[in-house]
């Protein structure tokens, strides 16, 4: 039995009015994440590079995005795929040179694409000169004060300074003489250093003035090279609670935080009225008020440059009122909405998180920044095909329950169409426009995510979403490299997802993304309004809102919906069996004739 929309002028409950005032580019931009090692390989060594990005930038212009964000390309031993930075002012030879970066940025400007680069201020690599100096200088030295070194507990300092656990698994502390002899005479160095991630990623001490000064210099180094903004890794983690108190909770990258004393981190994807659904990181090591002083100082640096430069917070923070603090007028410009990403495919749950997101961001005059996939989570084309109860796993391995690929892609296309019609900015993760799934059957021998080892092979980790992009179905490595080399093997299913196949296929995922971005721009949806179409509030299976005269209707789990005469579907996430029937797991954009 079909539900019929009975009017061409449905009542609308206004939640958000159109943006007025200066329309800085970041308020409504669609930004494309490039993961450099997996985007395009120009030199054939099997690892993506900056020259490869330059060669493929036309793809982004053809797609219709406004900007690109590059994950780290800095000099690094690659213990955590570049998020362990040894030199913030140099390009790692794996990816090229500063000249290569300048050429890529120049090409992006020719194509009218903004460029955002990653910045990793919570920690450095243990190969960073500062950390080497700290080890040599010893306890109590100014060099050690740049990091979080502490004396151990116990009779001989044999116990860590507190009980914190690393997000990648295991203790968050390593004793110096467990890895190095810091003195030639063999005297044990009993100090410990903090690493909230891998042991090769020591946390910086943001109470140290030299650390703060150096990062402001790093900002200026890249701003002087013309970058348009920075995405700040672990933006909520740089300041720790005074005294580093013990804490019995557990924290994970995606699933969030348990209460103290709990044994498992879990969210069912159903947010409460403040937008929280268990996906935020909390505890004395995260979301401390002191981080905001840092961002206010960075905001002042950015203001000395023209062109509306942007700071983007990667902050796994809940409730959303806390997240909105990062985008107050004198701090950052955007913050990823991970509460939206972790919400299940359910109309009531999505309505709740959208309401909270827009309400809290409107309170501080900031745009909401929507996202469904990135390099740290299972791609939404796979995630949304998982059985109930497996909402946001940290990777999917070959022995884990496998997603329903067809269902996952159908829902992912609908979810994307819904997201791109919401007011604010949106981020796309490379390859999602091709309908890429995770590589969920990757053989364990190829896994490189440090979380795989540190968690004792109990979680597959993030390698499955980082597999290199397929560009050409009949080329070596599907066109990722000319030699057929690929740092992670690509699954056979990527052949049908290759960019050349997608672009030549009617109703492909690429075609849907391209048309959505064109219509989004034509109807100014990013700066538009949002009003719930109240006719559908009686059913929990449908989500419907209006933005600048486009009605966006998603049939999430109910019977087919019959649209009235006088309406026209201008875009659908799936082929429609009739011009006015919206089937389950389909999103449509509708206009009134």
Active site residues: 233, 314
Strand extents, DSSP E, 6-113: 12-16, 30-34, 67-70, 74-75, 87-91
The DSSP result for 202-223, as a single string, is: PBB-TT-HHHHHHHHHHHHHHH
Tell me the two tokens of residue 365.
Answer: 């005059």
Q: What's the rounded Cα separation, in Å, for the pair 189 and 186?
A: 9
Taking CA atoms, 138 is separated from 133, 194, 200, 207, 453, in Å, by: 9, 15, 18, 19, 30
Q: What's the rounded Cα separation, in Å, for the pair 343 and 348?
A: 10
Q: What's the rounded Cα separation, in Å, for the pair 146 and 203?
A: 9
Could you give the 3-state DSSP secondary structure of residue 354? helix
List the one residue out of 334, 148, 102, 143 whose CA is nearest residue 231. 334
List the one residue out of 49, 35, 63 whose CA is nearest residue 499. 63
Dihedral (CA of 589, 590, 591, 593) sign: positive
Other CB atoms within 10 A of residue 488 CB: 18
Q: What's the rounded Cα separation, in Å, for the pair 454 and 79?
A: 12
Q: What's the rounded Cα separation, in Å, for the pair 148 and 132?
A: 14
Taking CA atoms, 421 is separated from 191, 260, 277, 329, 526, in Å, by: 53, 39, 23, 25, 7
Checking DSSP bridges between strand 191-194 and strand 310-313, what pairing results, if any?
unpaired
Q: What's the rounded Cα separation, in Å, for the pair 201 and 305?
A: 31
Question: In this structure, what are the phi and psi dihedrals at residue 203, rounded to the nearest 5 degrees?
Answer: -75, 140
Q: What's the rounded Cα separation, in Å, for the pair 330 and 293?
A: 10
Burial of 249 (0-12, 13-18, 19+ CB in 10 A): middle
């Amino acid at each position: 039995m079909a539900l019929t929309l009975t009017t061409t002028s449905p009542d609308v409950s206004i939640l958000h009015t159109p943006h007025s005032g200066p329309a800085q580019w970041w308020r409504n931009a669609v930004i494309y994440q490039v993961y450099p090692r997996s985007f395009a390989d120009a030199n054939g060594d099997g690892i993506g590079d900056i020259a490869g990005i330059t060669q493929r930038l036309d793809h982004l212009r053809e797609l219709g995005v406004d900007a690109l964000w590059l994950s780290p390309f800095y000099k690094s031993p690659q213990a955590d795929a570049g998020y362990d930075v040894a030199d913030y002012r140099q390009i790692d030879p794996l990816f090229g040179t500063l000249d290569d970066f300048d050429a890529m940025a120049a090409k992006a400007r020719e194509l009218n694409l903004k460029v955002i680069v990653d910045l990793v201020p919570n920690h450095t690599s243990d190969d960073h000169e500062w950390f080497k100096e700290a080890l040599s200088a010893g306890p109590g030295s100014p060099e050690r004060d740049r990091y979080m070194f502490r004396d151990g507990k116990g009779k001989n300092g044999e116990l860590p300074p507190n009980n914190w656990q690393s997000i990648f698994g295991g203790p968050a502390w390593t004793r110096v003489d467990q890895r190095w002899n810091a003195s030639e005479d063999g005297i044990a160095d009993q100090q410990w250093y903090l690493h909230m991630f891998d042991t090769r990623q020591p946390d910086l001490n943001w109470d140290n003035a030299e650390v703060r000064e150096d990062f402001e210099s790093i900002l200026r180094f890249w701003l002087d090279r013309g970058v348009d903004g920075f995405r700040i890794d672990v933006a909520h983690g740089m300041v720790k609670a005074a005294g580093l108190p013990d804490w019995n909770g557990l924290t994970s990258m995606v699933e969030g935080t348990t209460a103290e004393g709990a044994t498992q981190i879990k969210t069912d994807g159903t947010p409460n009225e403040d937008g929280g659904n268990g996906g935020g990181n909390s505890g004395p090591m995260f979301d401390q008020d002191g981080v905001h002083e840092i961002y206010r100082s960075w905001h002042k640096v950015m203001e000395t440059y023209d062109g509306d430069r942007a700071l983007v917070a990667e902050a796994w923070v809940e409730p959303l009122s806390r997240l909105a603090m990062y985008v107050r007028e004198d701090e950052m410009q955007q913050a990823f909405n991970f509460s939206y990403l972790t919400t299940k495919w359910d109309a009531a749950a999505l309505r709740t998180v959208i309401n909270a997101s827009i309400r809290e961001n409107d309170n501080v005059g900031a745009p909401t920044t929507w996202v469904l996939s990135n390099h740290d989570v299972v791609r939404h084309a796979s995630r949304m095909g998982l059985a109930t109860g497996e909402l946001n796993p940290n990777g999917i391995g070959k022995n884990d329950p496998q997603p329903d690929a067809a269902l996952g892609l159908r829902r992912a296309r609908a979810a994307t169409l819904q997201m791109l019609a919401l007011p604010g900015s949106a981020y796309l993760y490379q390859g999602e426009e091709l309908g890429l799934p995770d590589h969920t059957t990757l053989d364990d021998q190829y896994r490189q995510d440090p979380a795989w080892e540190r968690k004792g092979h109990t979680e597959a980790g993030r390698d499955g979403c980082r597999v290199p992009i397929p560009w050409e179905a009949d080329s070596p490595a599907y066109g990722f490299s000319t030699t057929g080399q690929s740092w992670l093997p690509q699954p056979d299913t990527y052949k049908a997802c290759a960019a050349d196949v997608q672009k030549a296929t009617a109703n492909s995922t690429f075609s849907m993304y391209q048309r959505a971005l064109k219509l989004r721009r034509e109807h100014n949806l990013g700066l538009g309004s949002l009003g719930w179409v109240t006719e559908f509030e009686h059913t929990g299976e449908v989500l419907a809102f209006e933005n600048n005269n486009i009605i966006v209707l998603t049939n999430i789990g109910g019977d087919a919906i019959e649209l009235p005469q006088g309406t026209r579907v201008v875009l659908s996430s799936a082929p429609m069996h009739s011009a006015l029937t919206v089937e389950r797991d389909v999103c449509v954009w509708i206009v009134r004739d």
